Structure 1
Amino acid sequence: MLVSKRNVEIGISFLLGGNYMWKTEKTPSIFKQALIVNKKPFPWLKAFLAGVAAGLPICIGLLFGNLEYGLIAGLGGFTYLYVFPIPYAQLARKLTFCVLGITACVFLGTIVAPYPIFTAILMGIIGSIAMFIFGAFQLIGPSAIFFVLVFAMTTGMPTAPNEAFLRAGLTFLGGVLSWIIAMSGWLFNPHGPEKDVVRRTYLDLANLVDSIGTEKFNDAKNKVMSSLKEADQTLTVGNNPWHTKDIYKRLIVLNIYANKIFLYVVDEFDECQKSLSSEFGEAVRIIAALIESGSIINDSLNNNLPHPNEMDEKSTLLFMEITAAKDSLNESSLTLKEQMHILNPSAKQTLLGAFDKNSIILINALRFGLFIVLAAILAYEYELNRSFWVPLSCVAVMSGANAVATFHRAIQRSFGTVVGILIASVILAFHPSGFVIPFLVFLLTFITELFIVKNYGLAALFFTPNALLMAESGSQGKFAFTYFASARLIDVAIGIIIGLIGVWVVGKKSASSRLPHLVSKTIRSQAQVLFALFSGQEQKIDLKNSTEINKMQTNIKNLKTVYDTASGEIPVNKKAIEYYWAIVYSIEQLGFLLEKYSNIKDRPILSEKGISQLLFIFETMAIAANRQTSVTKKEIPEINELPSIQYVVEDLQKNFQKLTYSQS
């Protein structure tokens, strides 16, 4: 089962989450890439609510006759910038962490402001911790940027350690307000994100069923795998251990059926040359439509699935699985609960996995903190005006996912800051006061959030004047703008240069050099999972809390992160990327299948000879990965009941039969 050229492109796209495609045409220059405006739709509602979260605390402060207190409370409004369409259960936990983190940053910033060296060190620690947590738990959002920004802006306030609790309290109230605004959608559609991801999974599954026997099958298969992974992650983080609603139980069971249907299609129809009748795909689409129903139980009872006219044994069993998925929509809550099983690694396991010595997450976090400290020390040592803008610019640049993204950020930050200062000059020239200030903060935040999805540089056009306005509004009209603007440009330029140096010196080929060891380590962990699943030892292993599966998941996550980072190194190690991409893709496919089969009770048991042969093959590949050598072909024992695993192992072994590469 050789990998076709088309599958090469699909594989890399799947491996990197659709963000990277292997292309033969000439890649645009870094400068042109940085200026590309993507076609994502404007997030109008999120942008409006972000503006409200930023401007409302300032309005409240003005109503109580204290603009300064309102501006401090407005720092808590940055919490809303971490809102993304994720399950409300996870969003509540994430925003709580953000509120407490931003509050702590204000408190610590007020305390250490008189001591520049401690300020610089603490700024680096805050940046490292935030970067590590966001990376380890794969949280989407601006990561450490606003934690460092709030801490830095607090150190730039009038020195008053005795006001630490007051400032922290005001910030906390502003953060709580953002939390309430963000969670208000829960009242109207408490499981909206979960319903959406399961619905999209069934639509992709319908396309897969329609593609059986056609050239589109592999494309559709990989898309379903990506959807199932997203659905698993979304439903896992959306779990509320204190109260599980009926709709959430149904979504969990529906997702289980989606996995069963997918595995059955892959096992039984992968080599099929004949298409199925359209009623199969139509039946799956009806289930997708029912998920959005306001009365899901009644509608599922009143909607019958179209019945195919002709079916053989395999297609009959497929239709029975589809029917069972639809019938689960009207099962009792108790029956649903018996079918539920959620495999969720503990926070401790996740953190320990990210603390691995070869984890790029830990390395990036340490590098991030080190250069923030250096930037802050340099700024404070030379007593630059508004010195906190230097480390802040360094943070913004180094927040790129890899070296290429970092250079994009540097270009975008430079362009956005220069033009943003011109916009700020117009605003500040009118000496805004009173309720004009919160209105401008609302407007600039609103526009920033609209354009951040399009291009970071466009967002910086409006974020820069917004930050200047909030930082200077307490100066009672004494802006001294000409001097301030020139100093701001110098600070930003210094911060950008330090950030680029950090990526260039510390990150150079650090990811690609770790690929051999991580590939080897991941293959060995998959061999352990395979032994646990198919050796007949499952009665001795709790697969729901399996150390083997958790270890494999952690290793695959680390490997994927390292490979993604290596693909963006400057200069990129093309030989390493070309050599390993197919290997990493096959590893992730195998990990996906092993995880899914761990939820099946009646798994086939392989003979001792078969298991021994498989373990020998896996160990041979692991050694080859570490030494960067090729392997000779070995006979893979047949797994008749689960041919998809056999095919992927065959692909993985074939990928190791290529010539070696040199890292030089």
Structure 2
Amino acid sequence: MGKHSKPSGQSGRTEPASGVRVRPLPVRSAVRLGRPSDIWHKSALSAVVAMAVPALTLFALGRLDLIFYTAAGSLCALYGHGLPYAARARMLLWVVLGMASSVGIALTTASLTTSAELLVVCASLIAAVHKTVFDAARLGPPGNIILTFITASAFFVPQHLGQVPLHVALTLGTGVLAWLVCMAPALLRPQGPERIVVARALDAAAGLLRTEPRADGVRPAGVSDAWHATSAAVHAAWRTLYLVPTPTPAKATARAGLERLLMRAESVLGSMGQEAEEADRLRAWARGLRGGGPLPGVMLSAEQDVEVLGVTGEVSDVRRPAPCHPRGVRPVLARLAPGSPLLPIGARVAAGCVLAGWVSMALGVGHPYWAVVTAASIYQANTTLTWQRALQRTLGSLLGLLLYTALLPLIHVGHLAMIALALACMLGAEAWISRNYWLGSVCITPLALLLAGFGSQLPARVLIADRWIDTVVGAVVGLACCVAVTNRRAADRIEVALERVAAAEAAASRLLAAGPVSGAEGAREVGWARDRLAGCLAELREAVEVASGEWWQRALPDERIDHAQQQGHRALALLVRQVSMPAAVV
């Protein structure tokens, strides 16, 4: 990516008098297809299994009118597939509880009031909470939108108070089933998630070696992007390995083997020359990790071996995060503290969803919660990304409605055909959404209409018309609120990130000035310094990306950002080089 990771096709323009930048909104980059996720099939198959079992059970019992509540719990199976199984178990538990409690609040509210205006407000507030909490927790895809879609719909499901406990129990029960489905692969490949994330780091490092300076000193185009990609992949892999528990010597040995591979990939950040043979070796190791084969034997420098094995050469411990590394709920609460740049995003969601729902009602549409969900789904970290998501959502929904229309003859065959089509749409959505959101929306739209069709007697043309109107209303009103509710705190986040990078770089410089490390304690200090500096650089890069994409934003401190990144990257490379002189393969 470029030095400030500006979205493709954009060029910032700074007004010298006011110091405010107005950025054109891209179109081509919003619809460009990317590479599919390497683990899309894991979430897709998990969701299909978690949804098929209760759906077919309800079909056999003749109670498909309850499929909305079982689908709510089943969709929890979309989460956590990039996490090691111990961390996945905890994360999925929170997601299931969040889904069940959100559905419970929505159904209880629906049973106590019939005011559509009030229901829109309540659904919008819950959507804002979902967005803010998910962003603060950094739970990753599919983010808040699944919970928001289900909860907003639940606010408009006809309900009696006495029915709520059963319906919430169905959601919770199928959520437990989703938890079991997502955890089941641990019986076959207990190291699967961490092997994949280390394989990504190895692939990124191999790509960096391929773009290193030639013998004449010329740096090929894209070397900076490759360096950043490798640094980010290595940092993400360390964060993942830190989540892997090592209660037994066997588990510690297995994790130590992955750490040795990751250190080999990390050593490329300090490499000075092009090494085609090493790049081929790293890619071969990555293929082996993904294929489930045995871990390759890897030799490292003496200092790296000390960091992994300790001074005795036995796996008595593995690399741990720095003592000050926050974990659990504390970092989430810290990101939600007063002054957080996430709070304006939450305000955008609340305002945009309320107005979108009210406009939909004013137009006489019978499903205002679709406008609420559309508005909630488009809000991203900044205005530019929100514009892109609004365009993607509108385009994908239009094509999805055309697909739903084409599927109507099959839908009319019966409920079993509807279940099969819903499962196929779920599979297609997960297969395509990582390439571009609009492509995934082509399947998401008919999936939503199919779920609504089980409990609705409305003609198909009414459902299609309502969906199209609500999509346009939600996208237009949501985007207007995004522009109106500015996020000036995005630039403040850069100042904080710059201070953290400076502090981490100063600490790294002190370690470098002290000379080569010796012993386990010294190697551990260097590892912690690398973690802190890499994390701070990643935070700065993210802060710059977010602020650069705000439509109205004061000018950024470009020179300070460039200087901080250059100094930080230089110190990070020197830290890696200090303990990274890779030896040959065993």
TM-score range, shorter chain: 0.7 to 0.9
1:30 aligns with 2:8: no
Following superposition, the deviation at residue 395 of structure 1 comes to 0.9
TM-score under structure 1 length normalisation: 0.69
TM-score under structure 2 length normalisation: 0.77
Following superposition, the deviation at residue 439 of structure 1 comes to 0.9
Q: Is the 8 A contact 2:45 2:427 kept in 1?
A: yes
1:386 aligns with 2:364: no
Distance change in 2, residues 1:156/1:86 (3 Å):
same
Following superposition, the deviation at residue 564 of structure 1 comes to 1.0
Q: Distance in 1 between matches of 2:288 and 2:463?
A: 59
Q: Distance in 1 between matches of 2:420 and 2:192?
A: 31
Q: Distance in 2 between matches of 1:395 and 1:194?
A: 32
1:165 is paired with a residue whose SS is helix
Q: Distance in 2 between matches of 1:46 and 1:384?
A: 34
Aligned equivalent of 1:502, options 481, 484, 501? 481
Instruction: Tell me which residue corresponds to 2:518.
Output: none
One-letter identity of the residue aligned with 1:167: H
One-letter identity of the residue aligned with 1:178: A
Instruction: Tell me which residue corresponds to 2:495.
Output: 517
Q: Distance in 2 between matches of 1:47 and 1:333?
A: 45
Q: Show the 5 A alignment for 1:269-280.
A: 270=272
Q: Distance in 1 between matches of 2:530 and 2:205?
A: 25
Q: Show the 5 A alignment for 1:625-640.
A: none
Following superposition, the deviation at residue 403 of structure 1 comes to 1.9
One-letter identity of the residue aligned with 1:521: E
Distance change in 2, residues 1:148/1:242 (3 Å):
farther
One-letter identity of the residue aligned with 1:393: T
Instruction: Tell me which residue corresponds to 2:418.
Output: 437
One-letter identity of the residue aligned with 2:468: L
Instruction: Tell me which residue corresponds to 2:392.
Output: 412
Instruction: Tell me which residue corresponds to 1:168.
Output: 168
Q: Distance in 1 between matches of 2:443 and 2:572?
A: 42
Distance change in 2, residues 1:222/1:413 (3 Å):
closer
Q: CA RMSD in A?
A: 4.7
Q: Distance in 1 between matches of 2:237 and 2:101?
A: 34
Following superposition, the deviation at residue 213 of structure 1 comes to 7.8
Distance change in 2, residues 1:111/1:380 (3 Å):
farther
Q: Show the 5 A alignment for 1:336-485.
A: 336-343=315-322, 344-355=325-336, 357=338, 359-376=340-357, 379=360, 384-398=365-379, 400-428=380-408, 431-475=412-456, 478-485=457-464
Q: Is the 8 A contact 1:57 1:73 kept in 2?
A: yes
Following superposition, the deviation at residue 568 of structure 1 comes to 2.0
1:106 aligns with 2:103: yes
Q: Is the 8 A contact 1:128 1:368 kept in 2?
A: yes
Instruction: Tell me which residue corresponds to 1:561.
Output: 542
1:435 is paired with a residue whose SS is helix
One-letter identity of the residue aligned with 1:499: G
Q: Is the 8 A contact 1:80 1:179 kept in 2?
A: yes
Greater relative contact order: 1 or 2 (C-alpha under 8 angstroms, separation 6 or more)?
2
* Runs of at least 5 residues in structure 2 that lack an aligned partner in the other structure: 12-22, 515-523, 580-586
Q: Distance in 2 between matches of 1:383 and 1:28?
A: 34
Distance change in 2, residues 1:144/1:257 (3 Å):
closer
Q: Which has the larger radius of gyration?
A: 1
Distance change in 2, residues 1:557/1:239 (3 Å):
farther
Following superposition, the deviation at residue 145 of structure 1 comes to 0.7
Distance change in 2, residues 1:225/1:390 (3 Å):
closer
Following superposition, the deviation at residue 394 of structure 1 comes to 0.2
Q: Distance in 2 between matches of 1:164 and 1:223?
A: 48
One-letter identity of the residue aligned with 2:431: L
Aligned equivalent of 2:238, options 211, 221, 232? 232
* Runs of at least 5 residues in structure 1 that lack an aligned partner in the other structure: 1-8, 306-317, 537-542, 601-640, 643-664
1:106 is paired with a residue whose SS is helix
Q: Is the 8 A contact 1:402 1:568 kept in 2?
A: yes
Following superposition, the deviation at residue 240 of structure 1 comes to 6.5
Q: Distance in 1 between matches of 2:256 and 2:109?
A: 51
Residues 33-92 of structure 1 deviation map (CA, whole Å, 9 limit, x = unaligned): 232222437845543443333333211111222112234212222112325433223322
Q: Show the 5 A alignment for 1:4-19.
A: 12=3
Following superposition, the deviation at residue 371 of structure 1 comes to 2.8
Aligned equivalent of 2:569, options 574, 589, 600? 589
Identical-pair percentage: 21
Instruction: Tell me which residue corresponds to 1:526.
Output: 504
Distance change in 2, residues 1:406/1:204 (3 Å):
closer
Following superposition, the deviation at residue 147 of structure 1 comes to 0.9
Distance change in 2, residues 1:427/1:365 (3 Å):
same
Instruction: Tell me which residue corresponds to 1:93.
Output: 90
Following superposition, the deviation at residue 21 of structure 1 comes to 7.2
